[in-house]
Amino acid sequence: MVAVNYVGEELWSYFNAPWEKRVDLAWQLMEIAEQLTNNDFEFALYLLDVSFDNFAVGPRDGKVIIVDAENVLVADKRLIRQNKPENWDVWYESKFDDCDKEACLSFSKEILCARVTVDHNYYAICQNLLSRHATWRGTSGGLLHDPPAEIAKEGRLEALLDECANPKKRYGRFQAAKELREYLAQLSNNVR
């Protein structure tokens, strides 16, 4: 017997939702990445299987929910600081994986568990859900595909998504993720 709980439509069903809704969902996803990476508990929870069917949207409140947390790596940042493994305090930037399959991620469990500052969750969300590199069920372009003309023309969103998925500057993903969260908050009126 298997017991399941309906928490809402999977994120995939919002792929062609109105722009404003997709921006809000993207902002929520980036906030989830931040909270799982940096929190008061000093535990980082790294999502190792990030795809459109591993998230749902609550029917009443429209909140993004992780529905498949089967592949999550837990890193104890206090223990890392205490044990000081080699390069523990060097920022780790995940390597972009331009594969021809859906939901690709490259990562090293050993490195994720040995560094305090890691960009893995930003990388996973940007590459597999938000950016033009995201492919799912025969589509491409990610959740933020086909932005309104004025946003596309400005180019900031595309530049931030590209830097977040496949950084060109050293540690560029960290800055791009921060700026992307702020920009999405502005676009969706989620400014705190």
Per-residue pLDDT tens digits for 150-161: 999 999 999 999
Per-residue pLDDT tens digits for 36-89: 999 999 999 999 999 999 999 999 999 999 998 899 999 999 999 999 999 999
Rounded to an integer, the average pLDDT of 167-183 is: 97
Please tell me the distance from the alpha carbon of residue 104 to that of residue 166, in angstroms, as a whole number: 13
Q: Is residue 3 part of a domain?
A: no
Domain count, the chain: 1
Share of the chain above pLDDT 70, in %: 96
Q: Is residue 50 part of a domain?
A: yes
Question: Which CATH number does the domain housing residue 128 bear?
Answer: 1.10.510
Per-residue pLDDT tens digits for 105-145: 889 999 999 999 999 999 999 999 999 999 888 888 999 99
Q: Is residue 2 part of a domain?
A: no
Which of the 8 DSSP states describes residue 107? -
Q: Write down the pTM of the prediction.
A: 0.94
pLDDT of residue 2: 65
Q: Is residue 4 part of a domain?
A: no
For residues 109 and 142, is the Cβ–Cβ distance under 8 A? no
Q: Is residue 140 part of a domain?
A: yes
Closest CA to 169 of 86, 96, 90: 96
Per-residue pLDDT tens digits for 58-70: 999 999 999 988 9
pLDDT at 170 over 90: yes
Q: Is residue 73 part of a domain?
A: yes
Domain that holds residue 140: 9-190
Q: Is residue 1 part of a domain?
A: no
